[in-house]
Amino acid sequence: MSPRGRRPAGSPDTREAILAAARTAFARDGYQTSLRGIARDAGVDPALVHHYFPDRATLFAKAVIESTAGVDANLMHRAASITELEPEQLGEGIVRAVISLWDEAGADRFTAVIHAALGQGSDVEPFRDFIATGILSPIVTHFCPDRPQLRAQLIASQIIGLGLARWVARMDHIAGLDVEAAAALVGPTIQRYAFDDLPDVANPA
């Protein structure tokens, strides 16, 4: 610690201190926890949080998802690359990205993330908001700005359901699909959620 009680930018444990504080804060306060609060708990200047982790989604991915899975999945880079696809490739592209990531990491790693997400009792808000708000909403907004939050949550329902069936429940026919087969089967549903006209529905209170 510096004389003022804060870790200097060059300290080798600064990044780990931020990650440890973030894991605690996300579990305690949810996905929208204060980044300034994380900096305070880590004993660093708030600017250092943004220096190491440019946005909330990146911090959550590193502190919660990747640390739990035990892999450097580079989630935000993978998500950003999806926006480079042609619109007609979006649905299958999302499925390919998800399947490739967790098939490479291993089913036990995905299961560990799910168990961690459910580990706070019924409070799945951080995991839910990371998937829908941090990852999918920016992608959907890029392609179709009409009701992106609803579209993102519809897509998330497919991705999470596919993951549970393939890597947690290990349903044999779904677990046995190769990447291209899974993309061909699930991709059109995601494509419809992303681009088709949606019925008028009331927003949640």
Q: Is the pLDDT of residue 115 over 50?
A: yes
143-146: Cβ within 8 A, 24+ apart: 143/83, 143/87, 143/90, 143/194, 143/195, 144/194, 144/195, 146/198
* pLDDT attached to residue 3: 42
CA distance 72 to 19: 14
Higher confidence at residue 1 or residue 117? 117
The predicted structure's pLDDT at residue 18:
94
One DSSP character per residue, 51-93 reads HH-SSHHHHHIIIIIIHHHTS---HHHHHHHHTTS-GGGHHHH
- Across the chain, what does the average pLDDT equal? 86
| Cβ pair 85, 195 in contact under 8 A | no
Domain boundaries, the chain: 1-53, 55-195
CATH class entry, domain 1-53: mainly alpha
What integer pLDDT is reported at residue 120 of this predicted model? 52
**Tell me: the pLDDT tens digits for 31-46?**
888 999 999 999 999 9
Q: What is the pLDDT of residues 170-189, one digit of tens each?
A: 999 999 999 999 999 999 99
Give the model's pLDDT for residue 104.
86
The pLDDT value given to residue 183: 97
Return the higher-pLDDT residue of 76 and 157: 157
**Residue 66, pLDDT score:** 78
pLDDT bin (cut points 50, 70, 90) of residue 127 is: confident
CATH class of the structural domain 55-195: mainly alpha
pLDDT score of 22 more than 60 = yes
pLDDT, residue 148, reads 93
Query: Which tokens hold the place of 60?
Result: 């959550």
Q: Which two tokens stand for residue 185?
A: 């089967």
| pLDDT one-digit tens code per residue, 75-92 | 778 888 999 999 999 999
pLDDT of amino acid 8? 56
Residue 11: is its pLDDT beyond 70? Answer: no
The reply to whether 1-53 and 55-195 are identical in fold is no
What DSSP character marks residue 10? T
Contact 30, 125 (CB under 8 A): yes
Taking residues 7-27, what's their average pLDDT? 80
